[in-house]
Amino acid sequence: LIGGLDIIKELIEEDELKSSLGVGEPADLNTRLKALTEQQPVMLFMKGSPGAERCGFSRTIVGLLKEQGVPFGTFDILEDEEVRQGLKEFSKWPTYPQLYAKGKLIGGLDIVKELIEEDELKSSLGV
């Protein structure tokens, strides 16, 4: 909660509304990306959403995580271009989907497949 109308007006007058909301400058984007990657213990940044995936890689990784019984949150990168482009730089990983555990990048579909083959997925995710 930021406040009521009087607080919002004051923030506008002091040119602090955007920073209070966590939007605006690139530094704010990195803060937002960090918060998004830590939103849930396991976060998947994908194209679409579970049950309405918009690419085969996203569909496959969702299926694998469900088969493994891994609880996870998701973020549809097609709904937010700033996050879609910014996360590539933030993570130094150019493709999607991207899987995070406790804010740390685990990898994409190939990495998840390898971790499953080596029976290390759940331990890598801390679940």
User: pLDDT (tens digit, 9 = 90+) per residue, 37-87?
Assistant: 999 999 999 999 999 999 999 999 999 999 999 999 999 999 999 999 999
* pLDDT band (50, 70, 90) for residue 22: low
pLDDT of residue 26: 53
* pLDDT band (50, 70, 90) for residue 27: low
Phi–psi pair at 99, nearest 5 degrees: -110, 130
To the nearest whole number, what is the mean pLDDT of the chain?
91
